[in-house]
Chain A
């Protein structure tokens, strides 16, 4: 019969191993489970980082495993036993100490060489054919402008790029520090007012990639999200051409609704203080996101709400309730007026 103590110990060991396993397994899973993961790289830049990460990961796990194994052995083998003689008083061993100086030095060298190579490879100048996108961060949203579109294409919070062509982001900030991070496209780069930083990467697969601000930037730092949409080159050109167009004029719509016309009137007077809607009289407001093609975006409020009538109304009604500290002013519009504005905004394809 197994003594109870041993049985307990076995049961506890099983429980601890299960618990450890749960902690370890909690992090396993792909992009379906973790849509913002950095571990499924989808650009040349992200893949270069991932390769380096894997090297450090496995070397680290190896070294850690060895240290833990030695420690576990020591803890069992050299535990005090009743009546054992005092241990031999050893003060050191030069040869051993040299060995455990040299071995880490060699491991460091193994990591250093690819690290420096990757640093230089990933920070190389952008090739001449790269698509330039200017990124500007604000509390708490992103502005993307495309000089390729005649410098008129300005959009917010959703950055569109073609696959297979290098993208050159020129990034800066309009107020405080932010950091641009779309994990599957590669590493972060800070947005620093007064400086222009660069990220160069080539998206490899079509899709929608999630990201968000990674440098603390005040109250709603957690809600400063964005997404990158990687298109086929043809789709991208189509998107860019449409974005370069002025806003849809409701009077030219097949069935111009009076609500939409009223909405346009309010938008081009009240909202125009901060927002631009190209093709209308609202062309001077630059402190808020450009709304020219708002209806084509999948989200509003910097990637935190689905772009639909209900969310638009809620946002216009009380932005601070959705995004603490949001700088959008209280428009003082009535519920009816907001409904008109939303009706108009939804036509802005």
Chain B
């Protein structure tokens, strides 16, 4: 609830040149902020799609012996729910935050390779569309997101379902690897003067660790996918048991990617939470160094635990013991993080904004997910729990209670920076309570379902096994979550035009991105800032303050109050922020049409495997030509 209504900020005049406004300006943009916004919108859309798929799954399971979905359709539904949520919603939502925030947090004009950044977005978009076209062909992937060999070989999956999976994920993998390399280079090379590694905002730190994991983990998945693709299209026998293959190879490769993937989805959230909590507790992050080192340790250990997904495959007692112990070790750095967040909150002055409510509930829900994680790190106990609803409960406390709640916190926190307007807090509270109650109603009973013998990935269950009431509970809970998500969508949509004006720093936060107008000008910083502190806006020296382009006139300032408490100040957008990069003589990379063309060529190439060989050839030629043009495209617009 804000106490004021101000006139909307006037749109900043765009940089002179081609594609300055309209659709083409978005299609050709290489601005990390615009790319971040597009990542956000597309992945939020896929988040709603994945949610719809989840609701259909829950409707089917609401009562025993239900037939809303056929077995075939159910198997496609649960597979696409996971594929959509992981590859098209949660990962790209974290990418939206990386894109928008990292350059701002480190004081850079843009990422290191702006066109590559656009390229990874367009590849992601086409990959998402590619995967979902499978619905129209009535052949959505249907072997689970893990797609264990050998059910994926042509003998057992003759349809197009697995073709869409294997090609779609390869497209998305290209996007992730390009993006990861871009962010590694950006964070290592593009930091503002004085932004030493140990002064970097914790979100940027976690992005760096995530990007390193992403670049390496995706490569492993690509190897597995390429093998499977060759099995399916060129009659190789990587996974054909009748020709002597061992299907366990897939599981090793998949989880060598898959477990780092879990940390790829949670480390950015650790970063978001570590920004939100200090801001609203009005205290610096407790144990900054330890938070970073524990993040690195989690990323590093994350590579040595993959076989804990495979205890039931019979790897033998020595392997089981090794992976049980390595998995439990991860509890130590994770525990450190939890207690450091509690240490940050301790003795603070906690403002319960929606962002903070999500951040605090993240700590609680992620703790539950972490504890059940330890339970199945104990390998023999896992043999009862694996492949049951107990694990479904666990992963949802980690991915929903962890990743999704953390992303919600990030959305409420940074939306005002991105769009210059605050999200409505009343709707935020409604969203929060529906989500928190809904998720516990949905996922908590699943622990019991699993322990009482309900396997996962089952399209139905028999009456008389005691599963009825808990499944009904879960279905009701899932609809509460769905209602919450709709409220969020409505809030995001309406606040874009009608929300209260945010000003540069509505929350009184400490990091660099809050030093500039909201939304920030295309060029980010008028002058590259010199950083002297880890919390530049809290501990800033006068020299630094002077370099910050923001309106400081006191008469323009009004307080932002939420629930009757002052949490920050509103400021009118100042004149300076309306000046374009051109006016200020700042060089920005020119827009380019090539990223979207290259992404399209890649999709055509992979689509050709399903439709026609000629199409694949055409895609390849187009990609070749585009790559050539990409390499020789001028890097500046000629002034």
Contacts and interface: CB of A to CB of B under 8 A. Distances in A.
B460 A222 contact: yes
B290 interface: yes
A106 to B, nearest CB: 10
A-B pairs with the 8 shortest C-beta distances?
A187-B383, A27-B448, A36-B453, A222-B458, A324-B71, A34-B452, A34-B466, A104-B335
Contacts of B458: 221-222
30 contacts: A27-B451, A34-B466, A35-B453, A39-B451, A49-B383, A56-B375, A60-B371, A75-B350, A78-B347, A79-B350, A80-B350, A89-B284, A92-B289, A93-B287, A100-B335, A101-B335, A108-B332, A111-B378, A115-B379, A118-B378, A119-B379, A183-B453, A190-B314, A192-B313, A194-B246, A214-B312, A216-B457, A217-B151, A219-B71, A221-B459
Interface stretch (A174-182, A235-243, A265-273, A275-283): A174-182
A48 interface: yes
Nearest to B441: A23
Contact of A26 (B347, B387, B456, B469): B469
A62 B345 CA distance: 22
Given A91-B284, A175-B156, A186 B383 contact: yes
A177 B351 contact: no
Given A57-B375, A103-B335, A176-B150, 11 more contacts: A23-B444, A36-B465, A49-B380, A63-B371, A93-B343, A101-B335, A118-B379, A119-B379, A186-B383, A187-B380, A193-B150
Given A91-B286, A118-B380, A214 B565 contact: no
A52 B377 CA distance: 11
Interface string B277-303: 000011111111110000000000000
Interface residues of B, number: 101
Interface in A204-230: 210, 212-223
B285 to A, nearest CB: 8
Contacts of A192: 247-248, 313-314
A188 interface: yes
B638 interface: no
Nearest to B324: A115
Interface string B327-368: 011011001101110110111111110000000100110011
Contacts of B577: none
B148 interface: yes
A91 B372 contact: no
Contact of B383 (A24, A75, A189, A216): A189
B541 interface: no
B388 interface: yes
Interface in B126-148: 143-144, 148
Interface string A108-131: 100110011011101100000000
Contact of B380 (A35, A103, A119, A198): A119
Contacts of B321: 115-116, 119-120
A82 B565 contact: yes
A87 B345 contact: no
A254 interface: no
B312 A179 contact: yes
A121 B462 CA distance: 34
Given A92-B288, A97-B340, A189 B312 contact: yes
Nearest to A45: B380
A37 B371 contact: no
B180 interface: no
A186 B381 CA distance: 9
Contacts of A217: 151
Contacts of A60: 371-372, 374-375
Interface in B432-464: 440-441, 444-445, 447-449, 451-462, 464
B561 to A, nearest CB: 11
B364 A71 contact: yes
Of residues B71, B336, B449, B538, which shows the largest number of chain A Cβ atoms within 10 Å of its Cβ? B71
Given A49-B380, A71-B364, A96-B343, A221 B312 contact: no
A38 B339 CA distance: 33
Interface string A63-95: 110011011001100111110101111111100
Of residues A120, A190, A210, which shows the largest number of chain B Cβ atoms within 10 Å of its Cβ? A190
Interface of B: 70-72, 75, 143-144, 148, 150-151, 156, 241, 244-248, 281-290, 312-314, 316-317, 320-321, 324-325, 328-329, 331-332, 335-336, 338-340, 342-343, 345-352, 360, 363-364, 367-368, 371-372, 374-375, 377-384, 386-388, 440-441, 444-445, 447-449, 451-462, 464-466, 469-470, 473, 538, 565
Nearest to B283: A87
A116 B317 CA distance: 8
A304 B462 contact: yes
A14 to B, nearest CB: 15
A253 interface: no
A119 B317 contact: yes
A336 interface: no
A195 interface: yes
Interface in A292-338: 304, 324-325
A6 interface: no
A74 B342 contact: yes
A214 B342 contact: no
Contacts of A67: 338, 342, 363-364, 367
Of residues A55, A212, A214, A219, which shows the largest number of chain B Cβ atoms within 10 Å of its Cβ? A214
A53 interface: yes
A194 B343 CA distance: 53
A105 interface: yes
Contacts of B380: 48-49, 52, 115, 118-119, 122, 187
Given A188-B384, A194-B247, A35 B241 contact: no
A197 interface: yes
Contacts of A195: 246, 248, 314
A78 B470 contact: no
A70 B363 CA distance: 12
Contacts of B345: 71, 74-75, 78
A84 B349 contact: yes
A120 B322 CA distance: 12
A255 interface: no
A29 interface: yes
Given A36-B453, A87-B349, A91-B284, A219 B384 contact: no
A104 B331 contact: yes
B151 A193 contact: no
Contacts of B281: 78, 87
A100 B383 contact: no
A76 B75 CA distance: 45
A222 B380 CA distance: 24
Contacts of A84: 349
A197 B332 CA distance: 33
B314 A80 contact: no
Contacts of B342: 67, 70-71, 74
B238 to A, nearest CB: 13
A307 B66 CA distance: 23
Of residues A60, A74, A86, A218, which shows the largest number of chain B Cβ atoms within 10 Å of its Cβ? A74
B328 A86 contact: no
A88 B424 CA distance: 31
Contacts of B383: 49, 186-189
Nearest to B371: A60
A74 B453 contact: no
Given A26-B448, A91-B286, A120-B317, A176 B156 contact: yes
